[in-house]
C-alpha cells in the first residue's frame, strides 16, 4: 500500500514482531457511551469491579488539597506514599515501586525480565494483561491448565500445573490470588509449597488486586514470603477496595535489588499528585476500608444466593465480583442476548468471551440498590 495513504496494517508492519500480533486490552463495554445514552436515568454499572461505596472522605479531602499546586510536577519518588506503605506492610521503602495502577507494573515486569527467547507462564483464565505483557515484550507465553470444575474450587489456579510448566527458559510467572475473572483463590500452604519448587532465577509476580476483600481463613498474602524468596513480587492496587480507580495508583513490593532494576524503566512522574495524596490518605483510613469490605461481603453473599435461587451457577469468590454461568459452553449466543437485554434496561455486566468463558458473565458486587435493580431486570430477561 502507498505510504501516502497508510492504514493500520502499514504501521503494524513497522512495529516489533510481538506488537504486530498483539491485540489491545479489551475493557468490555463502552461505558462512557452508555453514560451518555442513559443520561438522567439510573445506569447500573456492574462490569468493571469498581467500588460502589466510593473513596474515604479523607482521600477526597486530600485530592482537593493538591489543586493549588497542580502546576507543579508530582513527587517523582512518591516518598510519602512509599513510607506509608512501608510502615503498613512492615518492609523498607526501597522495597516498594509505585505505578500508574498495577496494570502499568504488570506490563513493565515483562518488559524488564522477559523478552525474545524467554518464556512467561500464566494460568488459564488468568487476568488478560499477563498475556498482553508477555506478547508486548516479545516473550513466549505458556498457559498452564486450571483446576477441574470441582465443587470447591472451579477453574482455580493449579499451582502444581504451573510449576510443571516452568522450564529453563522461563523468566516470569504471573499468578493472581484471588483471581480475576474467576474469583477463585488458593491457600497459604499451597503457595508456600509452590514457591519451594520455583528456581531462584524465575520471578513470580503475585497479583493481589482484590486482597482486601478476602475473608477465607486459609488465604494469606504472599507478602509473608517476601523475605525468604527474593524472586517473589507482590502487586496491589488502590483501584478496588480503596475506590481510587480514576486516580490510577498501584504498587509492587519485592527485594530492594529487584525494585532498583525496575526503577530504571519507571516513567518519570508516573503517579500524579492527586493520586499520591489520595492513596496516602486512604491508606490511613482503616475505618472506611473495614466498612467497605464488610458491605462487600454482605452483598456478595446475598447476591450469590439470589442468583443461585434463579438456577444460575455462581462460582465461589473472594473478590468484589461474581463469575456467573448463564448457559452451557457452546451457547454463547444466549448469553450475548441476555447481556444485550440487560444493557437496554440500563444494567451493564462484563462479557467473558475474551477469556474463553463466553457462556458466563462477570458481575461486580454492587450496593444494595444496584443489586436489587440487577435482579429485577434479570428476572424480566430470563422470563
Q: What is the pLDDT of residue 15?
A: 74
Q: Which value, in Å, is the radius of gyration of the alpha carbons in the chain?
A: 21
Both 135 and 226 in a single domain?
Answer: yes
Query: pLDDT for 163-201, tens place per residue?
Result: 999 999 999 999 999 999 999 999 999 999 999 999 999
Least confident segment among 28-37, 153-162, 245-254, 270-279: 28-37
Q: Give the residue-averaged pLDDT of 298-315.
A: 97
Report how many domains make up the chain: 2
Domain membership flag for residue 6: no
Q: Are 126 and 179 in contact (CB under 8 A)?
A: yes
Task: Give the mean pLDDT of 108-118.
Answer: 95
Q: Can you give the CATH number for the domain in which 369 is found? A: 3.90.1150.10
My answer on whether 362 and 238 are in the same domain is no
Same domain, 338 and 219: no
pLDDT single digits (tens) 139-165:
999 999 988 654 444 578 999 999 999
Q: Which of 222, 252, 283 is at the close of a domain?
A: 283
In a domain, 5, yes or no: no
Residues 210-269 pLDDT 10s? 999 999 999 999 999 999 999 999 999 999 999 999 999 999 999 999 999 999 999 889
Q: Is residue 3 part of a domain?
A: no
Instruction: Kindly give the pairing relationship between strand 313-314 and strand 321-325.
Output: antiparallel
CA distances from 321 to 61, 156, 285, 296, 340 (A): 28, 15, 23, 9, 20
The percentage of the chain sitting over the pLDDT mark of 70, rounded to a whole number, equals 97
* Distance set, CA 86 to CA 97, 243, 331 (Å): 11, 21, 49
Does 49 lie in the same domain as 115?
Answer: no
- Whether 33 and 154 map to the same domain: the answer is no
Instruction: Give the residue numbers spanning the domain of 331.
Output: 12-54+287-382
* Per-residue pLDDT band at 20 (split at 50, 70, 90): confident
What is the CATH classification number for the domain harbouring 160?
3.40.640.10
Q: What is the mean pLDDT of the chain?
A: 92
Question: Which of 266, 283, 300 finishes a domain?
Answer: 283
Assess whether 50 and 73 both reside in one domain.
no
My answer on whether 18 and 37 are in the same domain is yes
In a domain, residue 4? The reply is no
- Together in a domain, 113 and 260: yes
Q: In this structure, are 87 and 220 located in the same domain? A: yes
Amino acid at each position: 500500500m502507498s505510504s501516502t495513504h497508510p492504514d493500520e496494517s502499514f504501521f503494524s508492519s513497522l512495529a516489533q514482531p510481538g506488537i504486530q500480533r498483539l491485540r489491545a486490552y479489551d475493557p468490555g463495554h463502552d461505558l462512557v457511551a452508555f453514560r451518555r445514552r442513559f443520561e438522567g436515568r439510573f445506569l447500573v454499572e456492574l462490569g468493571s469491579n469498581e467500588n460502589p461505596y466510593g473513596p474515604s472522605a479523607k482521600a477526597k479531602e486530600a485530592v482537593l488539597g493538591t489543586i493549588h499546586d497542580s502546576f507543579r510536577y508530582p513527587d517523582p519518588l512518591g516518598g510519602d506514599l512509599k513510607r506509608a506503605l512501608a510502615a503498613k506492610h512492615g518492609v523498607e521503602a526501597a522495597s516498594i515501586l509505585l505505578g500508574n495502577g498495577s496494570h502499568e507494573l504488570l506490563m513493565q515486569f515483562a518488559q524488564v525480565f522477559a523478552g525474545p527467547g524467554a518464556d512467561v507462564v500464566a494460568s488459564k483464565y488468568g487476568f488478560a494483561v499477563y498475556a498482553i505483557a508477555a506478547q508486548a515484550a516479545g516473550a513466549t507465553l505458556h498457559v498452564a491448565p486450571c483446576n477441574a470444575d470441582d465443587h470447591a474450587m472451579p477453574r482455580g489456579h493449579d499451582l502444581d500445573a504451573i510449576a510443571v510448566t516452568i522450564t529453563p527458559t522461563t523468566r516470569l510467572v504471573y499468578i493472581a490470588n484471588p483471581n480475576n475473572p474467576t474469583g477463585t483463590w488458593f491457600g497459604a500452604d499451597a503457595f508456600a509449597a509452590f514457591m519451594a519448587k520455583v528456581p531462584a532465577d524465575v520471578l513470580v509476580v503475585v497479583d493481589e488486586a482484590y486482597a482486601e476483600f478476602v475473608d477465607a481463613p486459609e488465604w494469606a498474602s504472599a507478602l509473608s514470603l517476601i523475605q525468604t524468596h527474593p524472586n517473589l513480587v507482590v502487586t496491589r492496587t488502590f483501584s478496588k477496595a480503596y475506590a481510587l480507580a480514576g486516580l490510577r495508583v498501584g504498587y509492587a513490593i519485592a527485594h530492594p535489588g529487584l525494585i532498583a532494576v525496575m526503577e530504571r524503566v519507571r516513567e518519570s512522574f508516573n503517579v500524579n499528585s492527586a493520586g499520591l495524596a489520595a492513596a496516602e490518605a486512604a491508606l490511613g483510613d482503616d475505618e472506611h476500608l473495614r466498612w467497605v469490605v464488610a458491605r462487600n461481603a454482605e452483598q456478595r453473599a446475598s447476591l450469590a444466593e439470589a442468583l443461585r435461587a434463579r438456577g444460575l451457577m455462581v462460582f465461589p469468590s473472594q473478590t468484589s465480583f461474581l463469575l456467573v454461568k448463564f448457559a452451557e459452553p457452546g451457547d454463547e449466543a444466549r448469553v450475548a442476548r441476555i447481556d444485550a437485554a440487560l444493557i437496554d434496561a440500563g444494567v451493564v455486566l462484563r462479557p467473558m468471551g475474551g477469556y474463553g468463558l463466553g457462556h458466563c458473565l462477570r458481575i461486580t458486587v454492587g450496593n444494595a440498590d444496584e443489586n436489587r435493580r440487577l435482579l429485577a431486570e434479570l428476572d424480566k430477561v430470563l422470563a
